[in-house]
Amino acid sequence: MNGSAIINRSRQKNSALSKCLTCGLIAVAPMLMTTAQAQTVVPTNAQALCAVSPQTFAGWFGGNVSLNGVVNPANSIAFPTNNTDCDFYQWSAQMFLWLTSPAPSTYGGNSMVFNSPVFYNVSGLNAENKRTYSQNLPNVPLPLLNIRSAQVGPNGLQRITDKTGHSFEVLPAPQTEKGQSLIKNSAGKFVEINRIEAQEGKKPSFFDSANKKIAVPAQQNMDATVAAKVAPHLLTMNTKVAKNMVQAFQANGKTVFVDSLGNTIEPTQGQAGSLSGVLLGQNQSLVYYATMVNDVFAFFQTGVANGNISNPNNVFPTTQAEVNAVVNYAASKGVKIPDQEALTMEVKTAWIDTTGLDALGLKASNYITVNTSVPLYNKSNPLLWIPTGQNKPVKLALVGMHVVGSTNGHPEMIWATFEHLSNTPNAAYSYTSNTGATVNVAQDTTGAWLFSSLKSATPNVQLANFKASPNITANTSTPIGPSDTLRWKAWGSGSDAANVLLENTEVISTTSSVLNQLIKGDVRANYMLTGATWTIGGKTVTATNQVGTNLLNNTTMETYDQGIGSTKSSGSNCFSCHSNGSQPVNQPANTSVSHIYNTLIPLYPKNK
């Protein structure tokens, strides 16, 4: 395929890719990898479809590029309405550089923008299914971080993905005190399951303690009373909700997932028998996670919840008038918002202990680091780690970041992700070079990677889970430890997608131009954009209106949600989980696309 053919293809209905050429073309110098550590090599000869021009790049820094210097946030209010894919990728890159910039004094202190007082940490769910804000404070480490909790869906239930990439929320079956599931028989009575026989795509058979097959109704409907106990807002389950759920039955250590038609579904590798994967690096460190939002998000959510900000369409602010209401509300509380043009931001980060990096040939100085504390575990049982109730101070290295934010015309938010270059080997991929030729890149098979030993023929198999929180439990008889991770979709698109060359080339050209214009020694040059996704016209999320690199996964956060191969039919993406439920498809996407929005306790009590 020649270059002109690629340029003429577009993912977005209102986008002419030729406009990307006005983004600026630059000659990119080769990126030399001089260290012993393995690194993802970002091609420097990709067709410059989305390259950031030197003038634009310098403008991000306020006029002059400086070493580890301050970058301004992208102006999300002025985000172009006649946009191209390039606008979204460049917005993402600028926002990452801003978030990881030294915090200006006007932000109130601390080392970087994302841990300055203009950002608030968001807690996990408490017993009432609520979250709380905690504002970053000057000269105070990040709050205690923990390992991952289960991925949840739109109804707040744990989520799994089948081998076709279809995501389901999991409704647990009622259980006995011994942990065995109960099922309603044909007489409408609950019977304890002792054994399950199941085959993918077929109805399972359940056996009681006498090893007698349990007679169940031809249509084993999900019990709405169980749903109401697990998620109180599900007082009734309509057909659409039930269709996107599976019920989990457990017996003698085996878990079987049954869909709304009564058939067995098989989760992707790594998820079987577990609902919440725990990730460890090759340095034996657990991966820790944090969620943060900016001041615009916090005051918008608080103002709407308390009735001080009118939001009839229930959407994130995307215009100057809408953000003015947020700024005015914050001012009424004595707070000045210094970066209102950023609009609402939600940031998810993944971290690993710097201890042991040197032994892998990795340097802590090549990572963005923070000081914090993490839980200590009793590891005397290699199959069950139990928290001791004590914490230890650590220096953590940033290994992954989701950058999510609203822009003009896009209340569904742009969902972008970044990873450290030394995280994970790539599967094979292709792109278009600056000569118009197709370049095929083989799968990475050498080097020392933080999340792979390259020894496994079946990567991304989960070895431990957080299902029995706060304990960490081995999935099998294999001791808890690091698994081999592979990035199946190297740049967020399926290898068999019709436009994979275009998407890969756009993301690569954006990433390459940014990394090679940072001054040598800038720690941010060790992180790469691997893609971003959004919806056409900012509308409610559907299966057909997601654009950009819409098979995007971060291998430090969606490690086990990638599917089992590089094709578009396998794996999930951001919007598989962050959807808008039953909202009409012709409406702007509402705030339910963010799982934390409706669960947050406002910053201030109502009328205070």
pLDDT for the residue numbered 54: 98
Q: What pLDDT score was predicted for residue 296?
A: 98
Q: What is the pLDDT of residue 8?
A: 31
Residue 237 lies inside a defined structural domain of this protein: yes
Burial grade of 291 (CB within 10 A; 0-12, 13-18, 19 or more)? middle
Residue 267 has pLDDT above 70, yes or no: no
Q: Report pLDDT for 152.
A: 55
Is residue 188, in this structure, part of any structural domain at all? Answer: yes
Q: What pTM was estimated for this model as a whole? A: 0.79
- The token pair at 517 is 């214009």
User: At residue 299, does pLDDT exceed 70?
Assistant: yes
Q: Is pLDDT above 90 for 84?
A: yes
For residue 103, the 8-state DSSP code is P
The tens digit of pLDDT for each residue in 24-35 reads 333 333 333 333
- What is the model's pLDDT at position 9? 33
Average pLDDT of span 528-545: 91
User: Is 334's pLDDT higher than 90?
Assistant: yes
In this predicted structure, which of 226-230, 422-426, 439-443, 534-538 has the lowest mean pLDDT? 226-230
- SS3 state of residue 393: strand
Residue 206 has pLDDT above 70, yes or no: yes
Mean pLDDT of the chain: 84
Q: What is the pLDDT of residue 551?
A: 86
- Position with higher pLDDT, 285 vs 560: 285
Q: Which of 130-139, 312-321, 492-501 has the highest mean pLDDT?
A: 312-321
Rounded distance between C-alpha atoms, residue 469 and residue 269, angstroms: 22
Q: How many angstroms separate the CA atoms of 92 and 415, rounded? A: 8
Band the pLDDT of 239: cuts 50, 70, 90. low
Mean of pLDDT values over 5-29: 34
pLDDT at residue 229 is higher than 90: no
Longest dimension (CA), the chain: 77
Question: Is 141 domain-assigned?
Answer: no
Q: Pick the residue with more confidence: 560 or 503?
A: 503
Percent of the chain with pLDDT over 90: 52
- Return the pLDDT at 29: 34
- Given this model, what pLDDT does residue 367 score? 97
163-182 residue pLDDT tens: 565 667 777 777 675 667 78
Please enumerate in sequence order all residues whose Cβ is within 8 A of that of 280, keeping only pairs 6 or more positions apart, or say none: 286, 287, 463, 464, 480, 481, 482, 483
Reported as a pLDDT band with limits 50, 70 and 90, residue 159 is: low
Q: Helix or strand or coil: residue 297? A: helix
The most confident of 161-175, 223-237, 419-433, by mean pLDDT: 419-433
> How far apart (Å, rounded) are the C-alpha atoms in residues 36 and 257?
45
How many whole angstroms separate alpha carbon 77 and alpha carbon 80?
9
Tokens for 398? 């940033």
pLDDT over 90 at 98, yes or no: yes
Q: Is 183 inside a domain boundary? A: yes
Length of the chain: 608
| Domain assignment of residue 217, yes or no | yes
C-alpha separations of 570 from 40, 162, 304, 560 in Å:
23, 8, 39, 12
Residue 77 has pLDDT above 90, yes or no: yes
- State the DSSP code for 416: E
What tens digit of pLDDT does each residue of 242-266 get? 677 788 787 765 678 888 788 888 7
Q: Which residue has the higher pLDDT, 101 or 137?
A: 101
- What is the extent of the structural domain holding 175? 166-265
In a domain, 184, yes or no: yes
pLDDT at residue 515 in the model: 98
Is the four-CA dihedral 227, 228, 233, 236 of positive or negative sign? positive
| pLDDT computed for residue 570 by the predictor | 66
Q: Are the CB atoms for 486 and 425 separated by under 8 Å?
A: yes
Quick: pLDDT tens for 346-393: 999 999 999 999 999 999 999 999 999 888 999 999 999 998 888 889
What is the share, in percent, of the chain residues with pLDDT greater than 70? 82
Query: What confidence score (pLDDT) does residue 260 get?
Result: 78
Report how far residue 155's alpha carbon sits from residue 41's, in angstroms, rounded to the nearest whole number. 39
- Pick 557 or 151 by higher pLDDT: 557
Give pLDDT, residue 14: 35
Q: Where does the pLDDT of residue 12 fall: very low under 50, low under 70, confident under 90, or very high at 90 and above?
A: very low
Per-residue model confidence (pLDDT) at position 258: 85
Q: Decide: residue 30, CB within 10 A, 0-12 exposed, 13-18 middle, 19+ buried.
A: exposed
> What is the pLDDT averaged over residues 500-508?
97
What contacts 389, CB < 8 A, 6 or more positions away? Answer: none
Tell me the CB-side half-sphere exposure of residue 42, using CA atoms within 13 A: 26
Q: How confident is the model at residue 148 (pLDDT cuts 50, 70, 90)?
A: low
Is 50 exceeded by the pLDDT of residue 20?
no
Q: How many CA atoms, within 13 angstroms, populate the side-chain half-sphere of residue 40? A: 30
Which pLDDT score, from 0 to 100, does residue 200 have? 81
Judged against a pLDDT cut of 60, whether residue 99 lies above it is answered with yes
Q: What was the pLDDT predicted at 28? A: 34
Position 42 pLDDT exceeds 70: yes
pLDDT band at 232 (very low <50, low <70, confident <90, very high): low
Q: What are the pLDDT digits (tens) for 446-459?
A: 988 999 999 888 89
Provide the strand spans (E) within 470-564. Answer: 472-474, 527-535, 546-548
CA gap 573, 236 in Å, rounded: 28
Query: Going by C-beta distance under 8 Å and a sequence separation of 6 or more, which residues neighbour residue 23?
Result: 50, 51, 52, 53, 56, 84, 86, 90
- Of 428 and 542, more confident: 428
pLDDT of 158 over the 70 cut: no
| Burial of 320 from C-beta contacts in 10 A (0-12 / 13-18 / 19+) | middle
Backbone angles phi and psi of 71, in degrees to 5: -110, 140
Q: How many domains does the chain divide into?
A: 1
Query: Does residue 229 sit within a domain?
Result: yes
